Amino acid sequence: MSEALAVVETAGTGTSVPAVSGARQFWRRLRAQRAALVAAAVVALLVLVALAAPLLTALEGQDPTTYHPTLIDSARGGVPIGSFGGVSADHWLGVEPQTGRDMFARLVYGARVSLGVALAATVVQVAIGVAVGVAAALGNRWVDQLLSRITDIIVSMPLMIMSLALLAIVPSSFPRPVLVTLVIGLIAWGTIAKIVRAQTLSLKGLDYVSAARLSGWGTWRIARRELLPGLAAPVITYAALLVPANISVEAALSFLGVGVKPPTPSWGQMLTAADVWYQAAPQYLLLPAGALFVTVLALTVLGDGVRTALDPRAASRLRVGTGRKAATGTGTAAGHATEKEASA
């Protein structure tokens, strides 16, 4: 991080910054951060792998659900035959213990579940959060009170516990990945609603919004045309940090055996039995754990980069060229302060 910011620093100092459009400015600031760029490349690769999962497995000639009883040693409790958990030209990353299902295929299809659920859940969270936050800020006193209290309640619900509980009651015939998406999305939208409400309230007092109201625009039109663009930065910033958090939650639920259920592969679910097999098939533990780690790390670093690129306070400091110390320190502090203000 600090290294990345130093790069921005050298790029920013000395040269006068020409006025550029928001999106272009964002890209320029993001590009200037080396760590964020690497993370973005990793994320792009992961998305590509997830999208191309059927293609990749076709290339390997395997699929994620076929059992290969001939590749496991049933006399030794289902250990894969061969070194490194049965790695071969046919099975690039070996096979699963006990079932003999192809690890590579399960891993790349698992990427679909992880990324798909996390992204879709983020969309649900952002949609509800923005709607509730804007409505609370623009509505009358009673609407605001009601929506803010509901948001408070949602925020104080422990996510893991509530997801576990909700997953208990829905019949198992309901498609599991969709269910996990909905559960995460419907429980964890509180913080984004608070941020949006606070931001909308401060935007509402600005002159250009008053001008729009004076020229007779309706609330709906003002919200869409004048307020939403101003909300983009904080919403994108927070959403970028929600995605890795959602990946962890999905993995955790599947690890506990209540999330995505077999035969659909999921990284968290693959880790459930990994501790039993780590000696005979170490890749059974290392691959899903590594995939989770790399994915969450890349998304977190990218999220941090997005925040740095969008935070006007951190950005203005970078432009003015105050010492790097101030810039790196306040990057996180400013973000935290925003959350505190929002919750106060």
Partner 1 sequence: MSGFGGFLLRRTAGAVVTLLAISVIVYVVFYVTPGNVAQITCGPRCSPEQVHQVAEQLKLGDPLYLRYWHFLQGLFVGQDFSTGTSVEHCAAPCLGQSYQTDQQVLDIILAKLPVSVSLVVGAMVLWLLLGIGTGVLSAWRRGRVSERVLTAVTLAGTATPVFVIGLVLMIVVCGQLRLLPFPQYVNFTDDPEQWAWNLLLPWLSLALIEAAAFARLTRASMLETLAEDHIRTFRAYGVAERSVVGRHALRGALAPVIALNANNVGSAVGGAVLTETLFGLPGIGQELVHAVKVVDLPVVVGMVLVTGFFVVLANAVADVLYAVADRRVVLA
The helix/strand count (H/E) of the chain reads as: 17, 2
Least Å distance between CB 289 and partner 1? 5
Q: Cα separation of 188 and 256, whole Å?
A: 19
**Binding to partner 1 by residue 174, rule CB under 8 A?**
no
Q: Which of 255, 264, 309, 338 binds partner 1 (CB under 8 A)?
A: 255
3-state DSSP assignment of residue 266? coil
Q: In the window 289-308, what residues touch partner 1 (CB under 8 A)?
A: 289, 292-293, 296-297, 300-301
| Stretch in the footprint of partner 1 (CB under 8 A) among 14-22, 73-81, 133-141, 167-175 | 167-175
Size of the site for partner 1 (CB under 8 A): 54
- The answer to whether the bond into 263 is cis (omega within 30° of 0) is yes
Q: Judged by CB under 8 A, which of 153, 178, 206, 320 binds partner 1?
A: 153
User: How far apart are CB 181 and partner 1 at their closest, in Å?
Assistant: 18
Q: Give least dist CB 32 to partner 1, A.
A: 19
Q: Is 193 near partner 1 (CB under 8 A)? A: no
The encoded tokens of residue 99 equal 């079932």
Coil, strand or helix at 72: strand
Contact between 189 and partner 1 by CB under 8 A: the answer reads: no
Looking at residue 124, its amino acid is: V
Whether the CB-CB separation of 184 and 123 falls below 8 Å is answered with no
Looking only at residues 102 through 131 of this chain, which bind partner 1 when binding is defined by CB under 8 A? none
By CB under 8 A, tell whether 279 contacts partner 1.
yes
Stretches 24-32, 71-79, 168-176, 308-316: which one binds partner 1 (CB under 8 A)?
168-176
Q: Which of 46, 56, 119, 274 binds partner 1 (CB under 8 A)?
A: 274
Give the footprint of partner 1 on this chain (CB under 8 A).
1-3, 149-150, 152-153, 156-162, 164-169, 171, 244, 248, 251-252, 255-258, 268, 271, 274-275, 278-279, 285, 289, 292-293, 296-297, 300-301, 325-326, 328-333, 336, 340, 344
